[in-house]
Amino acid sequence: MFNFFSELKKVVKKEKFVDRYNIVNMSGKILYVEGHTGICKLSQNQIAFKFKGGMIIVEGEEMSLAELSETTIKIVGKIKRVEAL
């Protein structure tokens, strides 16, 4: 089965940062994340989660978790800003 992230990692395998997390922002309506290690904050306007080596803050409106697993998150809503710290 084709895995977009696995194929992309093969192309940039020399870069050390590619193993931390993967994010796909689909038109500011859906945010898919691989590699999270825990939720820090959860509200309709801000969702923050940890990853290996830092934290990501997602800001927007009417946001909610559509999916949550041990390493993946799917956020839906009006996504306005994504920042890695």
For 14-69, what is each residue's pLDDT tens digit? 555 556 788 889 999 999 998 899 999 999 999 999 998 899 999 999 999 999 99
Q: CB–CB of 23/8 below 8 Å?
A: no
Q: CB–CB of 56/35 below 8 Å?
A: no
Which one of 2.60.40.2000, 3.40.50.1860, 2.102.10.10, 3.30.365.10 gives the CATH number of domain 20-84?
Answer: 2.60.40.2000
In Å, how far are 21, 40, 51, 83, 84 from 54, measured between CA atoms? Answer: 10, 12, 5, 11, 7
Q: What are the residue ranges spanned by the domains of the chain?
A: 20-84
Q: CB–CB of 70/58 below 8 Å?
A: no
Least confident of 3-12, 62-71, 73-82: 3-12
